[in-house]
Structure 1
């Protein structure tokens, strides 16, 4: 009863400043967070919470680099398949893009209310390297001149082009290298709560904290 009342209180506080609700949230997870049904169910709930708050984009990085090398391939395949099945089960107004460990688009669906980007083991350094190689290929093929390369050109070759307002690391003490280019001015939040225990009330606390911050965008 008390928790329900507190959740309503937090929700009212968050909704009092709708213009300060982040448009794009990034969540950093470990591979083990999503290997069981509870982890997947929590991710489905997380999407629902964000959708109701009016958040437009979720990007999620599933880190498999801390896993023993001999089982990384198997884990990556399991996670990719699991995320595909889970996202397909959501309503059609939720769009999604799923990328494998090489940055290849495995599946996509256009949506109208919220878009989810899932990257399984494909981090920011690899993303930038792939973007540079793609630009070099365009230069070689005469599609672009070297002097035309600027920030906009680089951004157009990245997998996720939206800049996250808020990056959440669930139950972790360090970030990954996900969205290195895009996250230059993002706000960071490290939760004390592990992914399996993350509740709506925890997300509301994170967003309320975000709303209280003064963003400087590098200034």
Structure 2
């Protein structure tokens, strides 16, 4: 870990012992479905966009904590391909929030050596939002720290379809006369996903008590450990993250083998 454990978790609840966290067993890749912003706002008689703004603070807290404990890759589900069905005012507000947040946070992330990697179909986003994500990528791409994958306009089924189509198109371009599509193996398809060459998530966290995958990383989480909490996303702080890590470390990961 880059920092002393007491500095990372300075005021733990009585039922949590940060020193129980084993550095060698910190998951290399953590993926998070951040759910509950709307319900958090509703409980406080606020509009949904206020909930999303509060959720940004939780994202900031998570990134710092994950980076500090030595997570190598962190993937956060920010906006799905299905989220376009939400009210236009909410979607517009989210896109503006994404752009402003990226521009405001990129310098701090850069100082922490974090690599910001947008993941999804950015072409459908407003130009200002696209530009903000690409600026973050360009500024941080050569960093050597934690990789932060921001899944935006992301859908796993589309990702898999895009990967297969890319394999087919490459085969057509390389074999114009004979047109031979190669045998599609797990390795070949993995190379054509939006992001390749990184470990699959060890741990998938979902907040707000929901028990579904919501079209997120369907290929990559084949053997991920799941951790679900009733905590709404804006209330998910570094100590809730610590609970998830400790729970993960209590698991016996067998990958299909006999225990």
The answer, yes or no, to whether TM exceeds 0.5 is yes
Report what 1:90 is aligned to: 108
Moved more, 57-66 or 82-91: 82-91
Are 1:159 and 2:164 an aligned pair?
no
Choose between structure 1 and 2: higher strand proportion: 1
Secondary structure of 2:157 counterpart: helix
Q: 1 CA distance for matches of 2:216 and 2:103?
A: 23
Please give the TM-score of this superposition, normalised by the length of structure 2: 0.72
Report what 2:67 is aligned to: 51
Q: 2 CA distance for matches of 1:11 and 1:37?
A: 29
1:74-107 C-alpha deviation (Å, 9 max, x unpaired): 3563354245325413232010111354578852
Please give the TM-score of this superposition, normalised by the length of structure 1: 0.84
Q: 2 CA distance for matches of 1:127 and 1:119?
A: 11
Match of 1:120 among 123, 148, 152: 152
How well do the aligned residues superpose, as a CA RMSD in angstroms? Answer: 2.9
Report what 2:43 is aligned to: none
Match of 1:204 among 214, 223, 242: 242
Offset at residue 175 of structure 1 (A): 2.2
Residues 120 and 154 in structure 2, CA contact (< 8 A), matched pair in contact too = yes
Residues 83 and 123 of structure 1, relative CA distance in 2, 3 Å threshold: farther
Match of 2:57 among 41, 57, 64: 41
Secondary structure of 2:58 counterpart: helix
Are 1:193 and 2:228 an aligned pair?
no
Q: Structure 2 matches for 1:1-12, cutoff 5 A?
A: 4-6=11-13, 10-12=17-19
Q: 2 CA distance for matches of 1:82 and 1:122?
A: 20
Offset at residue 132 of structure 1 (A): 0.8
Secondary structure of 1:141 counterpart: helix
Residues 102 and 18 of structure 1, relative CA distance in 2, 3 Å threshold: same
Secondary structure of 2:205 counterpart: strand
